Structure 1
Amino acid sequence: MRSFKDRLRHTLLFEMIALALVAVFGSWITGHSPAEMGALGLIMSLLAMAWNLIYNWMFDHWDMKHRNMAPRGVKIRILHAVLFEAGLLIAGIFIVAWWLQITLFQAFLLDLGFAVFFLAYAYVFNLTYDKIFPVPAQAAAAAS
Structure 2
Amino acid sequence: MSTPIPNKSALERILHAISFEGLAVLLTAPVLSLLMDRSLAHMGALTLAFSTVAMLWNMAFNSLFDRAEGRYGFHRTLSVRVVHALLFEAGLVLMLVPLAAWWLSISLLEALLLDIGLLLFFLPYTLAFNWCYDLLRPRWAFGNTQP
The normalised TM-score by structure 1 is: 0.70
Could you say what secondary structure the match of 2:146 adopts?
Answer: helix
Q: Whose helix fraction is larger, Structure 1's or Structure 2's?
A: 1
Trace 1:37-116 onto structure 2 (pairs within 5 A): 37-54=43-60, 66=75, 83=86, 85-116=89-120
Q: Which runs of 5+ in 1 are unaligned?
A: 68-74
By how many angstroms is 1:7 displaced? 1.3
Q: Is 2:126 the partner of 1:119?
A: no
- Please report the RMSD computed on the Cα atoms of aligned residues, expressed in angstroms: 3.5
Q: 1:139 maps to what in 2?
A: 146
Q: Which amino acid aligns with 2:54?
A: A
Q: Which amino acid aligns with 1:21?
A: L
Larger Rg: 2
Q: Deviations over 1:38-87 (max 9, x none)?
A: 1101111111222344456678997xx857xxxxxxx9xx96xx555454
The normalised TM-score by structure 2 is: 0.69
Count how many residue pairs are aligned between Structure 1 and Structure 2. Answer: 129
By relative contact order (CA 8 Å, sep 6+), the higher-ranking structure is 2
Identity %: 41
Contact (CA 8 Å) 2:101, 2:110: kept in 1 or not? yes
